[in-house]
Structure formats: structure tokens, C-alpha cells
Structure 1
Amino acid sequence: MPRFSANLGFLWPGRPLLERVEAAARAGFRAIELHWPYETPAAEMKAACARLGLTLLGINTVVGDAAKGESGLGALPGREADFQASVDQSVAWCRGSGAVAIHCMAGVVPPEQKAAARETLLRNLEAAAAKAEGLTLLLEPLNPRDKPGYFYSTVGEAAAIIAELGRPNVKLMFDAYHVGVTEGDILTRLERHLPIIGHVQIAAVPSRHEPDEGEIAYRAVFERLDSLGYAGWVGAEYLPRGDTDAGLVWTRHLGVTL
């Protein structure tokens, strides 16, 4: 059975971040992952994880100007300096907190800018990978229903970027929810892309709630990860149906031990 981490961008909402860390430990998780933790001092997060015996996984680069519809900066022509500043921020926070990975958010790109955006992303990631030595940079395609116009929506698009870069610390974030909404055929895609997968995330399709409902048979997903020899963590990145602790009944339904 894979190892599971709590994504505290979604779980235990409404609580201060360090209280969510405590809640994850009480629930039995042995690892956590975050979205944008920058208001919490890295040293405080490191101390909390050490005290609670938690492994700290990944964080995201900032979205940019959300009021203008930005959802990351990595592929935006003209925003190269801002993206590199966001990478510097993420790398510094990781090094101070003990986090090991950064999801480099690519951003929303008009169709007519896709070619220029791809070149921008390649240059940006080349520079970021050099800065982030010892850390993993993650590329995550987002489905077009939830994030229309995001630079990539399929694992194949992200895999092509990774192959062209050839940087060992640039990996694929395989979010089974996004893959399920966009493409399906999750088990085949897991096997095809396993060598470049740096992290896996889960949520129900189509609801994005706990993974014990909907279209994806997650028992089969976990069995396939085991059979493939996946040694990483699986992030519980779902929107709770209600109370987060009550919703953890999904672990019993799916035979999961945290």
C-alpha cells in the first residue's frame, strides 16, 4: 500500500496552517504537503514537523496576480523576472523548512501565445532547476474544466517538456483527479510515465471530494502503484465533503492505513 500525505491546502480548512499540521499528525498522517505557506516562517514549520514526526513534501510557486486571472507565471512571456523571483522565494522557504519539492505553476496562456509560452517555460525551468539543486521541481497539468486555458492539461504535454529539459530534478506531478477529468485511462498512464513521476495526488472524479466516491476505482490505482514499485508518497488533495476528520472514513472504505 502506498504512503499517504495530507495536502493542507485543502484539508482542515479555516484553521491556521500550524493548527492544520497538528490535525494531520493527530489523524495519523506521516507526511504533509502545502500550497502557499509563505506567511508561516519556514523555521516554525520545520520545528513543528520535527516535533510531530512529519515529513514535509512540496509547496507551490505563487500564482501571480489572481485578480487578472493569473494562475502561475512559468509560461508567461514577459513575466520571466517575476517567475524567477517566485522560484527564489520557494527555494528559500524549502531550504529553511525542510520541504523537498516545488510545484512550478505554469499559468494561463491564450492559444495564440502557446508556442512562445512553451519556449518561455523551457528557459524558466532550465534556470529554476539550476537554482533548486537538491530539490525536485514538479510540473502538474491542470484539467481544462477547473482551469480553462492553463498552459498544459495532459500528462503528455508535461512529459514532453521534461524530456526536452533533460534535468533530473524536474519531474511530473501525476494528479489522478486532473488526469481523470482530462484524459482517463489512469492505470496505463501511470505505467507509461512512472520513470518521471515525482509525486502522485488523488481526489474523486468528478466531485474532487474524498476518493471513496465517483468514477475512479482507487483500490485499483493503489494496487497498480504497488505493482509498479512506486516508492513515493500519494497526496490526499481533495475538498472535504464536510468535516475533514469525519471524512477520513475513506481510508477504511479503501483499506488504507495512514
Structure 2
Amino acid sequence: MPRFAANLTMLFTELPFMQRFEAAAKAGFKAVEYLFPYAFDKKELTAALRANGLQQVLHNLPAGNWEGGERGIACHPDRIGEFREGVGMAIDYASALGCPKLNCLLGKLPQGVSADEARKTAVENLRFAARELQGAGIMLLVEPVNYFDIPGFFLTRTDQALAILDEVGSTNLLLQYDIYHAQRMEGELAATLTKNMARIGHIQLADNPGRGEPGTGEINYPWLFKHIDAAGYTGWIGCEYKPRGETVEGLGWRTALPR
């Protein structure tokens, strides 16, 4: 049976962020993830986790000006110094929160930068981040994102991500496999998961179309969860979807799963 982590950036958004920890725990979640912790005090976040018996399983490296539309800077040749400073900040937060994995969003291809130059920059930055995180006992992840939701995103497919992992050549870098993004870009979910399970460090979910909760779209999630179990995945699956209504009302998909 999969273990599900509540993505607090997407779920319980009817509540202020710091109240979402308690809501997640009351809904039966044992773990949480979210995009970024950096706007909050580490002690406040740690206290919320402990008070609600929750484990922090993932957050992202700093990703540039998110509110301004940036979606990562790891492939930006002119932002290497900023990226490396962000790695240090991320390690500081993850260490305080007991978070074992950090995800790197490579970002959109910068205007005027060739794909080859962006790839070279991303590889160098990932090598640096993987080495720094390994020293702190934290696993680095990299995530393909579909270009329908984020036009211009540099990393969009599983095979592209795995080729970058090969080039980086670090045992401390794995794939973050988002089922929703993968369905939009390539399909073949079961085959891809089975083939690459040893290189997948984290899984996230949402249904398609609409990025809603499981059961609202075309993906046969009850079957896929069984397949993921059979393929040997024992990690958390982050629930990074947009509830159709209030979050608790849309959790029937989870309670209906066979135990």
C-alpha cells in the first residue's frame, strides 16, 4: 500500500499555510511536502511538524523569482552563483526540518541561451548540488515538468532527465517522477516506472486532465498503485493535485483503496 504525503502548497489551501500541517494530520497524513520553506522560520516549521506528528519528506531548492514567473535557475549560465547560494540555504532548512530529499527544478530555457549551454550549466550545477547535499546526508532529485503547464521548461521527459543523471554521474542524484507531468508528456507510466524504479527517488501524483485528485481523470490509479508496489517502490508519494473542492471532501480516493 503506498504511503501518501500531503503537498501543502496544493492541498488545504482554504487555510493559512501554517494551519495546513494540523489539517493534514487530522486527515490521516503522516508526511508532508511543499514547494518552498524559505518564507517561514525554520523553528516555526519544525514545531508544526513535531506538534502534528508529521515527517517532512521533500521541498525544492530555491527556484529564482517564483512570483515573477521563474521556475528554477539551474540551467541559467548567468545565475550560477545565486544557484550555489541557494543550495546552502536549502541544506540549512532541510537539515533543520529533517527533510531527506531536495528537488531541483532546472527552470525555463533562458532567452538567448542555446540548449547545449543550458544543459552544460545544469549538469555542472547538479554536480555541485549533489556533492554538497551528499555531505549533509540529503538526496538530490531532478524533475521533468510538462511544457503545456510551463512553456519553455528545459527538462520535460524522463529519458532526457536520465541522460542528465548519467552525465552528472553522482550516486546522490535521482529522478523525481511526477505521474501527472509524465502522463502529459509521454504516457507509458507503468513501463517507465518498472524500467527505471531503481533510479526514482520520489513520486508525485495528480490526475489528467485538470491536475485533480485521483479518480477525476484518465489515469487508472488503483491499478497503478498496485503496479508501483509490485515494482518495489517503498517511498512516499506526494499528493500534488488541485482539489475540486475543499481538500478533505476530495480524499475519498484514498480511503477507498484496498488495504
The answer to whether TM tops 0.5 is: yes
Residue number in structure 1 paired with 2:87: 87
Structure 1 position 43, deviation (Å): 2.0
Among candidates 145, 170, 181, match of residue 142 of structure 1: 145
Specify the code of the residue in structure 2 equivalent to 1:24.
A
The 8 Å contact of residues 139 and 158 in structure 1, kept in 2 or not, is answered as yes
2:11 is paired with a residue of what secondary structure? coil
Question: For residues 21-45 of structure 1, what are the alpha-carbon distances to aligned partners after superposition, in whole Å with 9 as ceiling and x for unaligned?
Answer: 1100000001100111212211222
Q: Tell me if 1:122 matches 2:95.
A: no
Q: Classify 1:247/1:164 alpha carbon distance in 2 versus 1 (closer, same or farther; 3 Å).
A: same
Question: How far is 1:216 from its partner?
Answer: 0.7
| Cα pair 2:76 2:110 within 8 Å, conserved | no
Identity of aligned residues (%): 38
Q: 1:2 maps to what in 2?
A: 2
Q: Distance in 1 between matches of 2:108 and 2:229?
A: 34
Cα deviation for residue 53 of structure 1 reads 1.7
In structure 2, the residue corresponding to 1:116 is in which secondary structure? Answer: helix
Whichever residue aligns with residue 144 of structure 1, its letter is Y
Offset of residue 83 of structure 1: 0.9
Q: State the match for 1:189 in structure 2.
A: 192
User: Paired residue for 1:156?
Assistant: 159
Alignment of 1:168-179 (within 5 A): 168-179=171-182
The normalised TM-score by structure 2 is 0.94
* Deviation string, structure 1 residues 138-175 (Cα, Å, up to 9, x no partner): 11100010011111110111111112222122110100
Name the residue aligned to 1:214. Answer: 217
Letter in 1 for 2:121: T
> Any conservation in 2 of the 1:42–1:94 contact (CA below 8 Å)?
no
Q: How far apart, CA to CA, are the structure 2 residues paired with 1:51 and 1:20?
A: 12
**AA aligned opposite 2:53:** G
Hey, what's the Cα distance between the residues in 2 that align with 1:215 and 1:199?
22
Measured in 2, the distance between the counterparts of 1:213 and 1:163 equals 36
Letter in 2 for 1:251: R
- Alpha carbons 1:69, 1:108 under 8 Å: kept: no
Deviates most, 110-119 or 173-182: 110-119
Q: Distance in 2 between matches of 1:69 and 1:23?
A: 29
Deviation digits for residues 183-233 of structure 1, max 9, x if unmatched? Answer: 001000001110110000110111101111211101111111111111101
The residue matched to 2:165 in structure 1 has which SS? Answer: helix
Report 1:61-80 matches (<5 A). 61-66=61-66, 69-80=69-80
Q: Any gaps of 5 or more consecutive residues in structure 2?
A: none
Q: Alpha-carbon deviation of 1:97? A: 1.4
1:245 aligned partner, one-letter code:
V
TM-score, reference length from structure 1: 0.94
Unaligned runs of 5+ in 1: none
Change in 2 beyond 3 A, CA 1:67/1:214: closer
Q: 1-side partners of 2:171 and 2:20: how far apart?
A: 32
Distance 2:81 2:181 in 1: 29
Shift of 1:251: 1.4
Alpha-carbon distance, 1:47 to partner: 2.4
More divergent stretch after superposition (226-235 vs 8-17): 8-17
Distance in 2 between residues matched to 1:107 and 1:101, nearest whole Å: 19
Q: State the alpha-carbon separation in 1 of the partners of residues 20 and 94 from structure 2.
A: 18
**C-alpha distance in structure 1 between counterparts of 2:15 and 2:102, whole Å:** 23
1:17–1:40 Cα contact (<8 Å) kept: no
Residue correspondences, number: 256
Q: Distance in 2 between matches of 1:256 and 1:11?
A: 23
Secondary structure class of the residue paired with 1:57: strand
Deviations 1:81-119 (A, max 9, x none): 111111111111101111111111101005862100110
- Specify the SS of the correspondent of 2:15: coil
